[in-house]
Structure 1
């Protein structure tokens, strides 16, 4: 599937999705009811990786913030799907796949830590009776609420552990962050841990480094459809204004035809990379980097093709530009990916 022209959602959900973007962008509306309906309909239960990615792309074509929230959930769900802690898996897998509980990632800082870009923000000490007591602050975790769950990695003194934290966890407090230029409907909070006891039943992995290395290709795979969706919508917008001002847009150096050719090539490579459900790390990182640059190129070009209309506060073109800049700075960021991939070549 190299385009998103065929409907993925049932008509009633499709109609709800079509009306979300403006409210999410302008009013910081958090589309939780929509996401829960998607999950209740079974779109993350027993589906192939390619099908889940297709859904995120389809949603992102219409509203990348909502697509981003679904990515957060898919990442958190990945932790529970792959944990060897059967108690944790059995307690949460059905709730997360059915949408009774939503999930977040909490993995931005650990991903940067393992790449040598940041110190780990959380520390953990073993608790009497099992589990860990956690302290520290995560500056930004998205798709969070008191009835959600998210994963964290903490330094346990010479090794790192990965834990699943419920939003109502005692010892964890939240401060909402809504001063971004975009993505304010993403339920993003700073999370402060003060002697928060996480039970043994919620340990995702005693060896966080090994676990993260195992699941990180999926973590990044679920991101790429965000860019594919917003890119295709930007290209469609360029094509719609081809005859504007007597065809003056034809003089611009970046045109829809070239962008669409790049999109089709990238989408085809992505589909090939995920078709067996086991994406290879370096391949998926290169696709992720290319997707970020293509989203930036496409949304920037759409601003120029649309002209003055794109600079109205509620214009979809500038919303997509802001979404593309967010994607470029979503962990792993473009500089993170460039650093890592260039190091692999030396």
Structure 2
């Protein structure tokens, strides 16, 4: 049994409340630790002076990077949500890392050493696979068969968590059009990452463009040759973890804005009421879907992800509107959330991608 979080009631645990008034998605024993660790590093991570993985590795020591690998995903969604209330970059990095774990679980493979505790980073370079399946893009890495595997060439326009000695998972396609999911070590010869910097937010997420030149992938590093089946098994957790950090950002923005509810002679009360109702309904929906992701309907998950992103943008805008000039200072938490929310329409799956899939049904 879970309780739908409420911005107005602020039902977070007493230990967590000592640090944060943001409601929990669901309660769990380590919540206060998660909030504190993320808050301690938030400003440094936002300034690209610290890596999100400094926090993730500490959470890995507590077993909080591998929650919900079987059955309910809700324990992991709750951690990602809480990280996002303090630092979207850290929540985003955990989403990418935890998605990589999901990819190995989907095919019954043991995790590479270090992935479970975050001492090795996981990078999901899977955007092209989802776009290709939806008919809104193509796979840009080719695979030429060899005696013991494949040789890869092409580009990965965007991926994150591209740290040295990490594990990346990506789609490839042969000259005959056969598609595969493979895993590559980020330090592999020919896997050349060009970091992307000067982003509006998430500058510390080790995101970048990757040129793939004659990278050898042995046969044992092919995770799947059934891409449609693979995507069907990983899409729900992939998208629900994204929806979770959208909800966390929304909760933080709405909570921060609460004290201004009656500002300007109360003209924003209706806006607050509408966003809080959306938050309650979406939280309830994400909780329901995350409790049994294997049974979640595809359209339900797509809509939850899109609606959660829309709510995060609206909540961040409302916060900035009512907080006023103090929130416009670039180093403020309000400004950070506004910048973080601006990323959501372009994160893969992008808003255009999601809307296209939903319209197609």
Structure 2 length as normaliser, TM-score?
Answer: 0.88
- Equivalences for residues 263-302 of structure 1 within 5 A: 263-278=279-294, 279-302=296-319
Structure-2 separation of matches of 1:44 and 1:12:
14
- Equivalences for residues 246-261 of structure 1 within 5 A: 247-248=263-264, 250-252=266-268, 255-261=271-277
Question: 1:225 aligns to what SS in structure 2?
Answer: helix
Partner of 1:204: 223
Partner of 1:107: 126
Partner of 2:52: 31
Structure 1 length as normaliser, TM-score?
Answer: 0.91
Structure-2 separation of matches of 1:11 and 1:282:
34
Equivalent residue pairs, number: 335
- Residue 240 of structure 1: CA displacement? 2.5
Structure-2 separation of matches of 1:42 and 1:36:
10
Match of 1:131 among 146, 149, 158: 149
| Structure 1 spans left out of the alignment, 5+ residues | none
The answer (yes or no) to whether the contact 2:190–2:215 under 8 Å persists in 1 is yes
Change (3 A) 1:332 1:28: farther
- Equivalences for residues 53-132 of structure 1 within 5 A: 53-84=77-108, 89-90=109-110, 92=112, 95-128=114-147, 130-132=148-150
Residue 326 of structure 1 pairs with residue 355 of structure 2: no
Match of 1:2 among 1, 4, 17: 4
Question: 1:184 aligns to what SS in structure 2?
Answer: coil
RMSD over aligned Cα atoms: 1.9
The answer (yes or no) to whether the contact 2:95–2:242 under 8 Å persists in 1 is yes
Change (3 A) 1:122 1:147: same
Change (3 A) 1:28 1:280: farther
- Residue 259 of structure 1: CA displacement? 1.3
Partner of 2:21: none
* More divergent stretch after superposition (205-214 vs 247-256): 247-256
Match of 1:237 among 226, 251, 256: 256
- Residue 17 of structure 1: CA displacement? 1.5
Structure-2 separation of matches of 1:249 and 1:273:
39
- Residue 12 of structure 1: CA displacement? 5.1
The answer (yes or no) to whether the contact 2:162–2:193 under 8 Å persists in 1 is no
- Residue 322 of structure 1: CA displacement? 1.5
Match of 1:147 among 147, 165, 174: 165
Residue 15 of structure 1 pairs with residue 36 of structure 2: yes
Partner of 2:22: none
Q: 1:105-164, CA deviations, whole angstroms, 9 ceiling, x for partnerless residues? A: 101122112111112110001112x21100011121101111211101011122101101
* More divergent stretch after superposition (42-51 vs 221-230): 42-51
Structure-1 separation of matches of 2:102 and 2:292:
16
Structure-2 separation of matches of 1:236 and 1:11:
17
Structure-1 separation of matches of 2:105 and 2:185:
16
The answer (yes or no) to whether the contact 1:143–1:187 under 8 Å persists in 2 is yes
Structure-2 separation of matches of 1:146 and 1:82:
25
Q: 1:282-322, CA deviations, whole angstroms, 9 ceiling, x for partnerless residues? A: 11111111101111111111111011111111121121112
- Residue 101 of structure 1: CA displacement? 1.7
Question: 1:152 aligns to what SS in structure 2?
Answer: strand
Change (3 A) 1:121 1:64: same
The answer (yes or no) to whether the contact 2:31–2:79 under 8 Å persists in 1 is no
